[in-house]
């Protein structure tokens, strides 16, 4: 990793900025002029600098704790990727099979059967959308796994800025990285617990030769596919996002503002 993008280099910058914040706070607190709107920020900036320094010093402990928490919960990224990629493969195989059957019917000039197969082509487009959603979740997992340390360090850097300018955003960035790093790999297990079985078992049951019955079978499993592959993942990610916001408010507190009104004109 390039040193300028290293989380420890980011923390080095953060400790210097927090020191600057502490010095500015001391200067504001000791001003000999009665600018109370500015002087009241002295203790706040000093405490914020100490708070940022604490986060910098416990950074290594947080990273270790997150990995230990994953181990305690019995989840890991390999299982996450293998489960979702397996679902992708089965959905792609199903989509390819349906399209192949449709084009065979078209080439055979079976117009009546081809009309019956129009829902199958629409269903294959629906499967494509599900594959894209699963791929997005996989890409999100890759990003979180590879960048969570850097994102936490950037969050600490934002917390260390003077006047609490980045405290709210920094807290949210720290909490989101922590929650999604631990929680996102649990998604396949959550899907299994919510549906009672792995979704791919249901997909393998479409082996009916009769066209009308095949269409009825596909129409019948569409609700379960929507629940399993769309509603449940979105619900779970929404839960993680809610936890991230709550934890972010705890870490970052209120958003920052300038200590005095700024009139441009």
The range of the structural domain enclosing residue 154 comes to 71-252
Q: What is the mean pLDDT of residues 103-124?
A: 66
Residue 245 lies in a domain: yes
Question: For position 254, what pLDDT does the model report?
Answer: 52
Mean pLDDT of the chain: 82
Cα within 13 Å of Cα(177), Cβ side? 24
Rounded to whole angstroms, how far apart are CA atoms 90 and 95?
Answer: 9
**Band of the pLDDT at 208, cuts 50, 70, 90?**
very low
Residue at 139 is within a domain: yes
Farthest-apart Cα atoms in the chain, separation: 93
**Domain-located, residue 108:** yes
- Give, rounded to a whole angstrom, the gap between the first and last alpha carbons of the chain: 46
Do 194 and 77 contact (CB within 8 A), yes or no?
A: no
Q: Evaluate whether residue 152 is within a structural domain.
A: yes
18-22, 35-39, 57-61 — which is least confidently predicted?
35-39
- Count of structural domains, the chain: 1
- Closest by Cα among 101, 79, 253 to 167: 253
Is residue 64 included in any domain, yes or no?
A: no
* Residue 3 domain flag: no
Band (pLDDT 50/70/90 cuts) for residue 155 is very high
User: Which pTM was predicted?
Assistant: 0.83
> Residue 125 has which token pair?
């487009």
Segment 151-158 mean pLDDT:
96
Average pLDDT on 198-221 reads 55
| 44 occurs within a structural domain | no
pLDDT exceeds 90 at position 179: yes
Q: Pick the residue with more confidence: 263 or 224?
A: 224
Confidence of residue 242 (pLDDT cuts 50, 70, 90): very high
CA angle at 223 for the pair 218 and 227, rounded to the nearest 5°: 130
Residue 233, domain member (yes or no): yes
């Amino acid at each position: 990793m390039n040193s300028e993008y290293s989380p420890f280099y980011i923390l080095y910058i953060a400790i210097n900025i927090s020191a600057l914040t502490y010095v500015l706070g001391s200067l504001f607190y000791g001003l000999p002029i009665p600018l109370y709107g500015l002087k009241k920020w002295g203790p706040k900036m000093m405490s914020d600098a100490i708070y940022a320094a604490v986060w910098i010093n416990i950074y290594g402990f947080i990273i270790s704790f997150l990995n230990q928490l994953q181990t305690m919960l019995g989840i890991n990224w390999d299982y996450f990727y293998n489960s979702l990629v397996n679902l992708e493969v089965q959905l792609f195989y199903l989509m390819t099979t349906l399209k192949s059957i449709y084009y065979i019917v078209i080439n055979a000039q079976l117009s009546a059967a081809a009309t019956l197969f129009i829902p199958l082509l629409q269903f294959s487009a629906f499967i494509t959308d599900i594959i894209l959603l699963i791929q997005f979740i996989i890409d999100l997992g890759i990003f979180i796994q590879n960048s969570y340390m850097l994102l936490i360090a950037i969050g600490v850097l934002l917390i260390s800025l003077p006047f609490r300018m980045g405290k709210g955003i920094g807290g949210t960035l720290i909490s989101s990285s922590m929650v999604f790093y631990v929680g996102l790999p649990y998604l396949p297990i959550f899907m299994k617990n919510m549906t009672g079985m792995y979704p791919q078992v249901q997909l393998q049951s479409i082996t009916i030769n009769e066209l009308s019955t095949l269409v009825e079978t596909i129409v019948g499993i569409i609700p379960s596919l929507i629940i399993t592959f769309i509603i449940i993942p979105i619900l779970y990610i929404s839960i993680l996002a809610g936890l991230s916001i709550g934890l972010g408010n705890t870490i970052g507190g209120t958003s920052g503002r300038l200590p005095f009104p700024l009139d441009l004109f």
